[in-house]
């Protein structure tokens, strides 16, 4: 152990290697609700791809399991280390290397946060549109989980916005995948294979992402409906309308109540409507032209009216921003309310009503409850699960995930499997497919040092 410590310290420098008491509690967990914290044996903070390569070689030789860490804001415990493990924290590799305006591309180190990157892009009139609820998340972490967020309905998730990587293989080789181009048909797409692999295949040390024109004008519309089924029926119509909203969220009344309460929102929804409405639709539009934006808001309003909205509120700048922020923080509201888990099942858009009905039914039968909101345009349902008994909860979630898969969906749309959902995956997924994933994994990581326990249990 002392030997390993000395080796690791020689690679990153004494000051950048933590062991024992020097390791703060932060490194012991991410934001997953259902995973106990675990401090690692080592935390190393490399400054370059070469240092990452040396760390991985040393870990390989000494059979030390390695967990990469961005900001630790993940929701599936994929950044939670093992007791004898090494955390590679990318906090020092946090430079925006280039904003390439002509190619609409940025080249960044993995420790850059989403907030920083978007700020830098904004200065060039561009945007990096991956907006999960937590903007302190790092680019490396979002590559790990394939993060989505509210704007994915228009701009896609992380995988749709990552063009290339520099990555270090667990065997120590530094490779480059993809490039500064939006298309490549030259060998297997390693970029897409590494995105979403939750730190189990390779560690990203540089990321090339796509930037988009930043549209200056936006409007946010809130529409209460009698029930969730109505909201769900409206979603495909809005998608088909060509209005191309960049936010298209449903929020159930319990979640809205928690958000209003926690964030002290003033939405101007009269009591009569609030009491009647079981679900809300939140839609945001953007445009480079205010005239067109106005027309589109009009069209949207008409559509919502026609499809049964109890009212259509075009929110003012301040309250719109607050509502969107409150939606981003819905996780904290759920946590504060005592939720036992948060899941982000994805199903085909049109299957959301049957899925939600079934999830509620299963929760009730388990003596618990589910409430939530979600990226309705993507069929991505975020449920706060209330069910204290661990066994009942496991059964409940097994039933919920199994039904989502039966409908043509998947266990997670954007949070990943990590440590907390792996057992469900292994139970419910086709064994032939899991075997194939294992063979891919060992093609990258023959010694199995990258994030053991994640994804494969």
Residues 4-43 that bind ligand FAD (CB under 6 A): 30-31
Task: Let me know: does 152 contact 162? Beta carbons within 8 Å.
Answer: no
Q: Which stretch binds ligand FAD (CB under 6 A): 55-63, 126-134, 389-397, 426-434?
A: 126-134
197 binds a copy of itself (CB under 8 A): yes
Rounded distance between C-alpha atoms, residue 318 and residue 448, angstroms: 50
The whole-angstrom separation of Cα 332 and Cα 133 is 10
Tokens of 411: 């266990």
Closest CA to 453 of 192, 72, 67: 67
Of the residues 154, 214, 274, 329, which one makes contact with ligand FAD according to CB under 6 A? 329
Of these, 25, 187, 271, 391, which contacts a copy of itself (CB under 8 A)? 187
Tell me the longest C-alpha to C-alpha distance in the chain: 71
Q: Which of residues 193-232 bind ligand FAD (CB under 6 A)?
A: 198-199, 203-204
Q: Looking only at residues 339 through 378 of this chain, which bind a copy of itself when binding is defined by CB under 8 A?
A: 346-350, 378
In this complex, which beta carbon is closest to ligand FAD, that of residue 286 or of residue 414? 414
CA 292 to chain CA centroid, nearest Å: 31
- Cβ of residue 297: shortest distance to a copy of itself, in angstroms? 15
175, interface contact from a copy of itself, ligand FAD, none, CB < 5-8 Å by kind = a copy of itself
Of 16, 19, 60, 67, the residue at the interface with ligand FAD (CB under 6 A) is 67
Restricted to residues 127-186, the positions that interact with ligand FAD (CB under 6 A) are 132-134, 137-138, 140-145, 147-149
Q: Which is nearer to ligand FAD, 369 or 452 (CB)?
A: 452
Site for a copy of itself (CB under 8 A): how many residues?
A: 82
Q: Does 220 bind a copy of itself (CB under 8 A)?
A: no
Contact between 246 and a copy of itself by CB under 8 A: the answer reads no
Residue 258's Cβ-side half-sphere holds a number of Cα atoms within 13 Å equal to 21
Q: In angstroms, rounded to a whole number, what is the distance separating the alpha carbons of residues 1 and 62?
A: 9
Quick one: what does residue 132 bind among ligand FAD, a copy of itself, none, with the CB cut-off 5 to 8 Å set by partner type?
A: ligand FAD
Residue 387 to residues 184, 342, 362: CA-CA distances in angstroms?
47, 11, 11
Distance CA 252, CA 6 (A): 54
382 vs 331: CA distance, rounded Å = 9
Q: Residue 236, interface with a copy of itself (CB under 8 A)?
A: yes
Collect all residues with Cβ–Cβ distance below 8 Å to 78 and sequence separation of at least 6: 30, 144, 145, 198, 199, 416, 417, 418, 419, 451, 454, 455
Q: Which does 142 bind (CB under 5 to 8 A by kind): ligand FAD, a copy of itself, none?
A: ligand FAD
Any contact of residue 377 with ligand FAD (CB under 6 A)? Answer: no
Q: Smaller CB distance to ligand FAD: residue 277 or 333?
A: 333
Partner from a copy of itself, ligand FAD, none binding residue 444, C-beta < 5-8 Å depending on class: a copy of itself
Q: For residue 141, what are its two tokens?
A: 């972490």
CA dihedral 279, 284, 33, 371 (to 10 degrees): 10
Interaction pattern, residues 60-89, with a copy of itself; x per rule: CB under 8 A:
------------------------------
| Core vs surface per residue 227-240: b (16+ CB within 10 A) or e | ebbbbbebbbebbe
Q: For residues 65 and 148, which CB has a smaller minimum distance to a copy of itself in the complex?
A: 148
Specify whether the CB–CB gap between 220 and 320 falls below 8 A: yes
Sites for ligand FAD among residues 419-448 (CB under 6 A): none
C-alpha span between 73 and 429 (Å, rounded): 26
CA distance 376 to 347: 10
Torsion sign across C-alpha atoms 166, 167, 173, 177? negative
Q: Is 5 in the site for a copy of itself (CB under 8 A)?
A: no
Binding residues for ligand FAD, per CB under 6 A?
Answer: 30-31, 67-75, 78-79, 90, 110, 132-134, 137-138, 140-145, 147-149, 198-199, 203-204, 329, 331-332, 414-415, 451
């Amino acid at each position: 152990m002392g030997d390993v410590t000395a080796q690791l310290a020689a690679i990153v420098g004494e000051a950048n290697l933590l062991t024992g008491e020097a390791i703060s509690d932060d490194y012991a967990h991410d934001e997953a609700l259902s995973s106990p914290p675990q401090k690692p044996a080592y935390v190393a903070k490399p400054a370059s791809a070469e240092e990452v390569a040396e760390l991985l070689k040393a870990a390989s030789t000494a059979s030390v399991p390695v967990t990469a860490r961005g900001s630790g804001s993940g929701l599936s415990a994929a950044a939670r280390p093992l007791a004898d493990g090494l955390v590679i924290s990318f906090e020092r590799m946090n430079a925006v290397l280039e904003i390439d305006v002509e190619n609409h591309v940025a080249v960044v180190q993995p420790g850059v946060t989403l907030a920083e990157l978007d700020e830098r892009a904004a200065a060039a009139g561009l945007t990096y549109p991956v907006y999960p609820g937590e903007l302190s998340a790092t680019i490396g972490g979002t590559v790990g989980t394939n993060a989505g967020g509210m704007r994915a309905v228009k701009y896609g998730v992380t995988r749709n916005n990552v063009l290339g990587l520099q990555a270090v293989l667990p065997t120590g080789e530094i490779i480059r995948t993809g490039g500064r181009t939006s298309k490549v048909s030259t060998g297997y797409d390693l970029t897409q294979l590494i995105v979403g692999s939750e730190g189990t295949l390779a560690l990203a040390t540089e990321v090339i992402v796509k930037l988009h024109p930043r549209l200056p004008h936006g409007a946010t519309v809130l529409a209460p409906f009698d029930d969730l089924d109505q909201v769900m029926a409206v979603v495909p119509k809005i998608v088909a309308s060509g209005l191309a909203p960049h936010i298209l969220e449903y929020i159930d009344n319990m979640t809205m109540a928690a958000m209003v309460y926690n964030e002290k929102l003033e939405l101007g929804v009269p009591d009569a409507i609030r009491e009647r409405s079981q679900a809300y639709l939140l839609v945001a539009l953007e445009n480079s032209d205010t005239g067109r934006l106005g027309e589109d808001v009009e069209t949207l309003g008409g559509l919502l009216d026609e499809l049964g909205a109890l009212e259509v509120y075009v929110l003012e700048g301040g309250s719109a921003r607050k509502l969107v922020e409150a939606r981003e923080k819905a996780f904290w509201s759920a946590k504060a309310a005592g939720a036992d888990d948060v899941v982000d099942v994805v199903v085909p858009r049109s299957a959301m009503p049957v899925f939600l009905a079934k999830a509620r039914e299963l929760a009730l039968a388990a003596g618990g409850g589910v409430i939530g909101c979600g990226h309705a345009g993507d069929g991505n349902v975020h449920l706060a699960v209330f069910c204290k008994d661990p066994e009942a909860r496991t059964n409940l979630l097994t039933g919920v995930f199994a039904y989502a898969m039966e409908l043509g969906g998947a266990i997670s749309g954007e949070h990943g499997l990590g440590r907390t959902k792996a057992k469900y995956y292994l139970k419910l997924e086709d064994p032939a497919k899991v075997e194939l994933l294992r063979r891919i994994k060992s093609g990258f990581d023959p010694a199995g040092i990258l994030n053991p326990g994640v994804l494969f249990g």
